[in-house]
Structure 1
Amino acid sequence: MKKKMISFASLGIVCATFFLSCESNNQAAEEQLDAALETPAKIISNAKAATLFNNDQQTRLSQIGKANTRFEDKAIHFDLATLESYIKRLETLATSRNLPITGASFVFGADANGKRTVFLMPSTRNADLDYQESFTIENGQFLTFKHVDPSLKPQNNSQNDENLVLSPNGYVSFNESVVMFNNYQAQYIQPFAKKVTKDYYTKAVWYSLDELKGYIHYLKRKSHKHNLAITGIDVFFGAYNNDPSLELKSNAQTVFLAASTQQQTIVNVTGKSLQSLTQEDLFAKNDENVNESLAYNMGQLSPPPPRG
């Protein structure tokens, strides 16, 4: 009798172990599938984020006499909740006014002291020029923000009555954004253009609304899973390698996005900071694991090169 009881008990242990093993394997498979479905396509590795950051320092800032720019002045911070509210605003506007809003562009700017910044504007596709053109609405007037122009003219009367241009410090008017745009042209594009001749110089980077929402969802999910306390997104200027295979993106200015806590910019789920990553001599050159990365890139550069 005791032998039978022991046999049944042993069988129970074996079965329990088997089912626990199956459950563990299924859970691992589900988590892997979930990660594959939830990871945005434009997430980039830590190595690529660091390369973009360092390229900007070497091929842009160092070339135009701004090599001593502090790391703190390179992080352009947007609050996560504010970004979510902004995207909802654009979606509501698209529906209520039947506007073909395709996404939002991070438009390049600089303040009066020469510090670089970006501001967000809704965009719609310009079919004639074949690019995503930013716009805003003021005093009931639809105002385009043409990145193809070397500089823009302010309006006679500009007021922030629709809240469609989002800067790191809050919503700004058309004229305020024009000043920042023209400052960037004068302080960053013109000095660089004297050294490097290109068909065009990037002045904005575009993402669809779904891409931005997907990235925010991804960060919130990773923040909850890994207890990261992500509160915002930091935008950094970057530059692509001078590689002919990149075609139009070769040696082009861009921006990339990274997760932000209240203390620092982090680039992966272990809480690795971008600053520490870029200060290392050999920064994770073989790190191509995007599933643990929190950096985002590969937006559409604007304006396009002129047509021949």
Structure 2
Amino acid sequence: MKKETGRPTQLITRKFAKELHSNFMKYRASIIAKYIKKEDANAVWFSVEELENYIHYIKSKGEKTGYDVNGIRIYFGVYPEQRKYAEKAGLMTVFLQATGKKIRKAAKEGEVQTLALVMDNGDGDISSIEPMNYGSIGRPPSLLY
């Protein structure tokens, strides 16, 4: 049986999405293209399977390494200008990084043998979990929303 999920609170309208993308193309992509002298990527695609697999991986590895994984931070990056990156060389990308809190075991006050989980404050990047990259930037790199 498939788990029912609620409607996400962060949903936006397609109209607002088009406005955001149009603003990116107008205020960022044109400047970047002028500077690097080529059309840059403006979208990155990951399959649902890839994303689900990464989420499962970071939750499992976080649990094994003592972290409560609570999110994914998305960073912008640029591929190096090297042959091995082929058509992606010099283009923008995004990569995903697990975030969370370190869990440490602590004895409850007055009970030496009973342990409770205590989470450290912070939603920082978990450096022991590898980031995910290599989504598809499409051909040509630039897509219109």
Answer yes or no: same fold by TM over 0.5: yes
- Counterpart amino acid of residue 77 in structure 2: G
Match of 1:178 in 2: 18
Q: Find the residue that maps to 1:251 and give its secondary structure.
A: coil
Q: For 2:141 and 2:127, how far apart are their aligned partners in 1?
A: 34
1:220 and 1:305, CA in 2 relative to 1: closer, same or farther beyond 3 A? closer
Unaligned runs of 5+ in 2: 102-121
Q: Report the Cα offset of residue 261 of structure 1.
A: 1.7
Contact 1:259 1:267 in 2 (8 A): yes
Q: Report the Cα offset of residue 208 of structure 1.
A: 1.1
The reply to whether residue 268 of structure 1 matches residue 130 of structure 2 is no
Q: For 1:223 and 1:196, how far apart are their aligned partners in 2?
A: 38
- Counterpart amino acid of residue 296 in structure 1: M
Higher CA-based Rg: 1
- Can you list the C-alpha shifts for 1:237-269, whole angstroms capped at 9, x where unaligned? 011111133221110000000011262332433
Q: 1:217 aligns with which of 56, 69, 75?
A: 56
1:297 and 1:250, CA in 2 relative to 1: closer, same or farther beyond 3 A? same
Contact 1:258 1:265 in 2 (8 A): no
Q: For 2:81 and 2:12, how far apart are their aligned partners in 1?
A: 35
The reply to whether residue 202 of structure 1 matches residue 41 of structure 2 is yes
Higher share in helix: 1
Q: Find the residue that maps to 1:300 and give its secondary structure.
A: coil
Q: For 1:179 and 1:206, how far apart are their aligned partners in 2?
A: 20
Q: Report the Cα offset of residue 186 of structure 1.
A: 1.7
Unaligned runs of 5+ in 1: 1-84, 90-162, 270-292
Match of 1:302 in 2: 138
Q: For 2:90 and 2:50, how far apart are their aligned partners in 1?
A: 24
TM alignment of 1:5-20, pairs within 5 A: none
TM alignment of 1:76-225, pairs within 5 A: 170-198=10-38, 200-225=39-64
Q: Find the residue that maps to 2:26 and give its secondary structure.
A: helix
Match of 1:148 in 2: none
Q: Report the Cα offset of residue 305 of structure 1.
A: 5.2
Contact 1:234 1:265 in 2 (8 A): no
Q: For 2:36 and 2:10, how far apart are their aligned partners in 1?
A: 34
Q: Report the Cα offset of residue 303 of structure 1.
A: 4.5
Q: 1:244 aligns with which of 83, 94, 113?
A: 83
Contact 1:233 1:258 in 2 (8 A): yes
Q: Report the Cα offset of residue 224 of structure 1.
A: 1.3
Q: For 2:136 and 2:100, how far apart are their aligned partners in 1?
A: 26
Match of 2:104 in 1: none
- Counterpart amino acid of residue 130 in structure 2: L
- Paired residues in the alignment total 119
Q: Find the residue that maps to 2:75 and give its secondary structure.
A: strand
Alignment RMSD, CA only?
Answer: 2.4
- Counterpart amino acid of residue 10 in structure 2: G
TM alignment of 1:251-262, pairs within 5 A: 251-261=90-100
Q: Report the Cα offset of residue 300 of structure 1.
A: 0.7
- Can you list the C-alpha shifts for 1:146-187, whole angstroms capped at 9, x where unaligned? xxxxxxxxxxxxxxxxx7xx7xx7000001101110111122
**Once the two structures are aligned, what percentage of the paired residues are identical?**
27
